[in-house]
Chain A
Amino acid sequence: MTAMCDVAFLLLTFFILTAQFRSQDAAAIETPSSISGIKVPDSDIMTIGLGRDGKVYFGIDNAQNRIAMLDNIAAAKGITFTNNEKKEFSLMSNFGLPINQLKSFLNLPKEQQAKIKQPGIPTDSTGAGPTNELKEWVYNSRKANNNLRIALKGDNLAKFPEFKNVLATLQAQNINKFNLITGTEAPPAGWKAD
């Protein structure tokens, strides 16, 4: 019994120390799978999500950078955020809100935030139009952290035109290399990587 108990608690300690909790996402995204074995980096990453209904979500990895990004965008748009709102914002791993709805969303209590269906970040097909807010987020997040790598996380059922809008937004800013986040699947038998 003592031995078993020892093992159990050793494992417990291991799992507690290595645990990385799943963060609360703005929307559930089921990614397609690929044989690619490249792992997604942990830090310095910007994730653009594409939900099944075509809504676009945006997030960057570091809480400090999130605040810097919000400061940049607030300055560009002429909006001011209180310290409390900034703190709330830094806790969101991703979001899908137009900029004019952001402030009221940040002032809601946590339980209500989870209930709200986020409408997605506005994009357009040219990637540089005045209504395209994704381009502002991409630009200002890169201003906050220049080393950001870009990952696209699309849902299985997302339609291609919406993906095209995101692609156009990135291309309009001369971003021509990015990663598509996928699940892992086994390559066919006998297949070897080059």
Chain B
Amino acid sequence: MAEINTGGGGGKHDGGKVRSKKASTRVDMTPMVDLGFLLITFFILATTLSKPSSMTLNVPDKTQKEETEPIKASNVMTIFLGKDNKAHYIFGKAANEDPEVKTVGYGYEFRQALTENAKKVGGEKFVVVIKPTKQSTYKNMVDVLDEMAITKLKRYALVDQLTADEKKLLKDKVKLDT
């Protein structure tokens, strides 16, 4: 530690008289500074510095029944969120046409599959249908929605009902009970 108190005034003078030492006017500030930094540390740790962010989720209005044109299966990629952080997807065929079920993890693999299929269909026609199953977690869903934001795909839908065909398909091909 740095010395703060530089010895008291006083000193021998001519004449040999002994004078009382002058008390230093400087105060030792080390403890105060220590305390200051301790409090700073406390407040830094106690404050919430990074505010969480949020993503917007819009869901269709349930009360309004809108008749929409059915989408061609060849333009649709259906993603099933399975258990153990795995996603299964079918592309280009409907569930009852014996499509190939591919299994990917979330992350890079998943993003590549998305961009590849989007390229195959091209532009605005590509539609992604996200179907979380009972075994999937909330994180899986957020991850997929996030991938949609990353790949900038605008046409996607979150659907929570699985059709009978899809249930059978998942059971037969990836042994997933839904």
Task: Tell yes or no: A180 within 8 A of B by CB.
Answer: yes
Say which residue of B44, B47, B52, B133 sits within 8 Å of A31 (CB atoms).
B52
Q: Known contacts being A19-B46, A40-B51, A182-B55, is A156 close to B138, with CB within 8 Å?
A: yes
User: Chain A binding site: helix, strand, loop or mixed by DSSP?
Assistant: mixed
Contact B4 A1 (CB under 8 A): yes
What 0/1 readout, one digit per residue, does chain A (1-22) give for beta carbons within 8 Å of chain B? Answer: 1101100110110011011111
Q: Which of A38, A160, A191 contacts B53 (CB 8 A)?
A: A38
The number of chain B residues with a CB under 8 A from chain A is 48
Contacting residues, chain B, for A119 (C-beta < 8 A)? none
Please give, as numbers and ranges, the residues of chain A lying within 8 Å of B37 by CB-CB distance.
Answer: 8
Which B residues touch A180, using CB under 8 A? 54-57, 142, 145
Which residues does chain A contribute within 8 Å of B48, judged by CB atoms? 20, 22
Which one, B11-19, B91-99, B146-154, is touching chain A?
B146-154
Q: From residue 1 to 51 of chain A, which have CB atoms closer than 8 A to chain B?
A: 1-2, 4-5, 8-9, 11-12, 15-16, 18-22, 31-32, 34-40, 50
| A167-B59, A177-B57 known; A160-B43 Cβ under 8 A | no
Is the beta-carbon distance between A156 and B139 smaller than 8 angstroms?
Answer: yes
CB pair B54 A39 closer than 8 Å: yes
Give CA–CA (A184, B49) in the complex, Å.
12
B50 in contact with A20 (CB, 8 Å) = no
Cβ 8 A contact of A38, one of B47, B56, B141: B56
Measured CB to CB, the nearest residue on chain B to A40 is B54
Q: Is the CB of A20 within 8 A of B137?
A: no
User: Which residue in B4, B62, B138 is a CB contact (below 8 Å) of A159?
Assistant: B138
Q: Mark A152-193, 1 if CB is under 8 A from B, else 0.
A: 101111111101100100011010111111111001100100
Q: For the side of the interface on A, what is the size category?
A: 35 or more
Q: Does any Cβ of A come within 8 Å of B81's Cβ?
A: yes
- Measured CB to CB, the nearest residue on chain A to B34 is A8
Q: Within 8 Å of chain B (Cβ to Cβ): is A144? A: no
Q: A174 contacts which chain B residues (CB < 8 A)?
A: 61-63
Report whether B57 and A178 are in contact in the complex, using a CB–CB cutoff of 8 Å: yes
Q: For residue B141, which residues in chain A have a CB less than 8 angstroms away from its CB?
A: 160, 163
Query: Would you give the shortest CB distance from B5 to chain A, in whole angstroms?
Result: 12
Interface of B (DSSP majority class): mixed
Contact assessment for B40 and A160 in the assembled complex, using a CB-CB cutoff below 8 Å: no
Provide the residues of chain A in CB contact with B61, threshold 8 Å: 174, 176
Please measure, in the bound complex, the distance between the C-alpha atom of A160 and the C-alpha atom of B53, giving whole angstroms: 21
- 17 A-B pairs with CB atoms under 8 Å apart are A1-B33, A2-B29, A5-B32, A12-B40, A35-B149, A36-B53, A40-B53, A152-B57, A156-B138, A158-B138, A159-B135, A160-B137, A160-B138, A161-B134, A176-B59, A177-B58, A194-B152
The residues of B with any CB-CB pair to A shorter than 8 Å are 2, 4, 29-30, 32-33, 36-37, 39-40, 43-44, 46-48, 50-63, 81, 132-143, 145-146, 149-150, 152, 160
Binding site for B on A (CB under 8 A): 1-2, 4-5, 8-9, 11-12, 15-16, 18-22, 31-32, 34-40, 50, 151-152, 154-161, 163-164, 167, 171-172, 174, 176-184, 187-188, 191, 194
